[in-house]
Structure 1
Amino acid sequence: MAETFVALGTVDAPSGVLVLGTAGGVDQWRELGRPLSERARTAAANGGGHLQEWSCEAVAVPAAADRPLSVRASTSPSPFDGEPTIATLEIGLGLPWPGTMSRSAPVRLGDLPVDRCGMVVGDADGLDAWTGTDDEPANGLADVFYWGRYEDDAHAQFGGERIAEHGADGPYGWLDLPVAEAAARAAELTDWRDRVHGRGLVVSVEEHTDLHRFQRAGRHHPLRVGAIDVGGCRTLGIDWDQGDHAMRHRGEREAGQVYPVTLEADRAGETVMRWTIPPHDPDDEDA
């Protein structure tokens, strides 16, 4: 039975090199000796390949530099809640399949785990500008969230709005505050909790790094996909439901939870990159 794909959006690759990688480590490549763009260009010059250092992983491939590249996915039910999750991620690279290569079999480039922080698809040069958890937000803003046993008491005292997430009510909080104001508000909530209850309320400040921005951009998408600008390039981030990750992908590479990335020719003879995550099989758990 043929897979049914849904469009996720487009990305730009003006450098001519496209990267699919683990979002949690994008900002760390430059701390490990060489920028991601340099490593990716080397891999792409050889037709594409897998990159890994420490916990940072990516696959880099050549791609058309002069047009948007379409990204789509097929889905399978999550064992956690039955909701659709990505089964095959497919990225059109805007290049013809090489005439010297057979179209009968995929070309395997390596494999990737599902990162707990999500995945990112974008231009190799653009991703050198990516900001992660420990980086300063370029816009100087942050979001504040709070939730837990005493969230209604806290709301009566401090206010805030319900932040909808994935079709349901999320935590209370405030969006788009200056970082200093966000930190002060979080401190006020924490001090009140400690004085009145001692525990029972979680307070979080999320600065507007690229990691947070893509997760926020995908808050209302059924597959948790969000588009943001990174380094002047349109980039897609794909978040993962934490329950689904815990049941299917926990442990990631160390636990052997990795999935193949291939180059293939589509029906029109164009080159696509595919990342294939097999549907959940409960018999695997029994084994």
Structure 2
Amino acid sequence: MSETFVDLGVVTTPSGVLVLGMAGWIDQWPEHGDPLSVRAKAAVKQGGGHLHEPADGPSQEWFCEAVAVPAAADRPLQVRAMTWDSYDGPVVTVLEVDLHLPWPGGPDGEPVLLGDLPVDRCGMVLGDALALDSFVGLSGESIDGLADVTYWGKYEDDAHACFGGDSMSQVGGRRGPYGRLDLPLHEALALADQLRDWLAKGPRTGLVISVDAHTHFHLLERAGESHPLLTGQIELERSQIMHLGWDPGDHSMRHHGERAWDQVYPVTLEQAGTTTLLRWTIPTEAEDPEETAKPPHACA
């Protein structure tokens, strides 16, 4: 199995503070105290650091976690990843972001450890701390009044003949679910009801129907559906943010259990010539093959 570096695109940080955080929890920081940007700015005053709950104790399992670092506010930050061919395809083993700032460490260039993060099964978000205060997550309301309807399963072709829709593209050009995108929310809900009525009259079983409101989380996932690393980008509060999805099979085999099972990986500042990199290093093989319990916090 080989490793290689690939460019993922750029993020921007108008506030000068970059956050790498667990996507499933980004919008939940205010429920437990200060907004994400306030915590991140405090950490940056110390050169960067690990954000978690409780703030004055060890990281709580199945909870908000992120790392915040200073970054250039006046230019895009290049993001790249080293990948490895895992169980179902390529996955990230090293994530790097060029912060476009001078090296803050000592003359020996030793890495500066900021903390460690688990791989959230809902993916990771990389972006400006202040912009992420406006992030609408998993269970939030539609940001534009629109939603997507998708359906797949045993009777998908029959349903498509009756209700139409397009075939969604996925990684490798594979055909994904049928669906209709960008519908007004009330139309999306009505279409889902019509599909359920059609199934009941059959009677038919084996068709899955999903209605996804246009949250920032959903739009990021949608943007990355056809990317080999499930990486997508959107604009949020005039900044570019990025979502790194995770292959379900790889997560189940290598990261399942997350912090509760010590599946956490170091985040460091690294010297690269005269500039500084943020680096998150994830091993290619699980150190503990023992079967782990299913995490209670799951993606919809």
Bin the TM-score by the shorter chain.
over 0.9
**Residues 82 and 92 in structure 2, CA contact (< 8 A), matched pair in contact too:** yes
Residues 31 and 16 (structure 1), Cα distance of their counterparts in 2 relative to 1, 3 Å cut: same
Which SS does the other structure have where 1:170 is aligned?
strand
Q: Distance in 2 between matches of 1:178 and 1:58?
A: 34
Counterpart position of 1:18:
18
Partner of 1:227: 233
TM-score when normalising by structure 2 = 0.89
Equivalences for 1:38-57 in 2 at 5 Å? Answer: 38-53=38-53, 55-57=63-65
SS in 1 for 2:30: helix
Unaligned stretches of 5+ residues in structure 1: none
**Aligned counterparts of 1:52 and 1:193: Cα–Cα separation in 2:** 45
Distance, in Å, in 1 between the alignment partners of 2:132 and 2:279 is: 20
Residue 37 of structure 2 corresponds to residue 37 of structure 1: yes
| 8 Å Cα contact 1:103-1:264 kept in structure 2 | no
Matches of 1:186 and 1:103 in 2, distance apart? Answer: 60
Question: Structure 2: where are the runs of 5+ without partners?
Answer: 54-59, 292-300
Q: 1:57 to 1:286 in 2, by over 3 A?
A: closer
Alignment partner of 2:141 out of 136, 139, 145: 136
Compute the displacement of 1:211 (Å). Answer: 0.3
Partner of 1:285: 289
Give the Cα separation in 2 of the matches to 1:231 and 1:5. Answer: 29
Amino acid at match of 1:123: D
Structure 2 distance, partners of 1:114, 1:235, is 18
In the TM superposition, what are the counterparts of 1:262-273 in structure 2 within 5 Å?
262-266=268-272, 268-273=273-278
Paired residues of 2:150 and 2:178 also in contact (CA < 8 A) = yes
Distance in 2 between residues matched to 1:75 and 1:115, nearest whole Å: 17
1:141 deviates by: 1.1
Deviant stretches of 4+, over 4 Å: none
Please tell me whether the aligned partners of residues 3 and 85 of structure 2 are also in contact (alpha carbons under 8 angstroms): no
Higher alpha-carbon deviation: 41-50 or 244-253: 244-253
Given that 1:103 and 1:265 are in contact with CA atoms closer than 8 Å, whether structure 2 keeps it comes out as: no
Query: For 2:132, which of 127, 130, 134 is the aligned residue?
Result: 127
Cα deviation, residue 245, structure 1: 1.2
Shift of 1:198: 5.0
Alignment counterpart, residue 251 of structure 1, candidates 241, 253, 257: 257
Q: 1:286 to 1:241 in 2, by over 3 A?
A: closer
Residue 77 of structure 2 aligns to which amino acid in structure 1?
L
CA RMSD, Structure 1 to Structure 2 (Å): 1.8
* C-alpha contact 2:3 2:84 (8 A) present in aligned 1: no
Give 1:172-251 correspondences, 5 Å limit: 172-251=178-257
1:66 pairs with 71, 74, 82, which one? 74
TM-score by length of 1: 0.93
1:195-214 deviation digits (Å, cap 9, x = unpaired): 32353111001111110111
For the structure 1 residues 3 and 46, does the alpha-carbon distance in structure 2 shift closer, same or farther, using more than 3 Å as the test? farther
Q: How many residues align?
A: 281
> Which letter does structure 2 place at the counterpart of 1:197?
P
Please tell me whether the aligned partners of residues 128 and 231 of structure 1 are also in contact (alpha carbons under 8 angstroms).
no
Q: 1:105 to 1:3 in 2, by over 3 A?
A: farther
